[in-house]
Amino acid sequence: MKSIVAFAFLAVVISAVSSELHCTVKRPNIPNDWIDMVRPCVEEMKKQIQKEINASMKYLAMGAHFSRDTVNRPGFAKYFFEAASEEREHAIKLIKYLLMRGELVSGVSKLIKTSFDALPTTHWNNAVAALEDALKTEAEVTKSIRNVISVCEEPNDNSRFNDYHLSDYLTGEFLEEQYKGQRDIAGKISNSRNLWATMVNLENSCSIKNCCKQCKIKYSRPQFV
């Protein structure tokens, strides 16, 4: 009985000490006059962060696809893995910008919602199909960035606040890279298609087939693009 009483007393003491040692840090009372971003602009920026993350996840899936032993296209795998890192870096830049402007002080855990299950596909028939999908994705991201700029320059509220600093930042830091990236992907699509056409013409010349017949080797069309 004494041991039970002693144990109960000890538990009460530990509880009291724990409550005294509990650290409660109050949020500092910082003036918010410097926080001037309007809600429509902030919300569009949050949506853009999600779009950048979605693009990163898609490129990760592409990189993984071309890394499979049954596909084995290391050049394309490397390209898409690097593209995934770039899109993730874009999201980080946007997050840092909002933090610089005094935003994202709460609800950060709800900022990003992404899963591989949300991807429309994780399989591409060939490299050209993947590049075309990537170009479509980049065009959508570019259009979304332009929409962010439009909303932040002329928000649909009573403030009429033109956030020209953010507009300049997105134009110089993001749009130029987007346009260059789109042109690069378009060029890769052309090169891949031309290479495929060359292989088809070579195959039609029958030189490969005839050689394989003479050597008694089973011929199969290469699927490198």
* Tens of pLDDT, residues 52-78: 999 999 999 999 999 999 999 999 999
* Tens of pLDDT, residues 113-169: 766 666 778 889 999 999 999 999 999 999 999 999 999 999 887 778 899 999 999
Residue 132, marked binder: no
Q: Which DSSP symbol is given to 158?
A: S
Q: Could you tell me which residue, 129 or 217, shows the higher pLDDT?
A: 129
The domain spans of the chain are 34-214
What's the distance, Cα to Cα, between the start and end of the chain in Å? 81
C-alpha neighbours within 13 Å on the C-beta side of residue 173: 16
Closest CA to 141 of 97, 185, 108, 81: 185
In this predicted structure, which of 145-149, 169-173, 209-213 has the lowest mean pLDDT? Answer: 209-213
Residue 20, marked binder: no
* Superfamily of 34-214 according to CATH: Ferritin, core subunit, four-helix bundle (1.20.1260.10)
Q: Could you tell me which residue, 184 or 23, shows the higher pLDDT?
A: 184
Whether residue 82 is predicted with pLDDT greater than 80 in this model: the reply is yes
Residue 87, marked binder: yes
The distance between the two most distant Cα atoms of the chain, rounded to a whole number of Å, is: 100
Residues 81 and 59: beta-carbon distance below 8 Å: yes
* Tens of pLDDT, residues 7-29: 555 555 556 555 555 566 677 78
Closest CA to 219 of 71, 211, 69: 211
Residue 123, marked binder: no
Residue 82, marked binder: no
3-state SS string for 60-123: HHHHHHHHCCCCCCHHHHHHHHHHHHHHHHHHHHHHHHHHHCCCCCCCHHHCCCCCHHHCCCCC
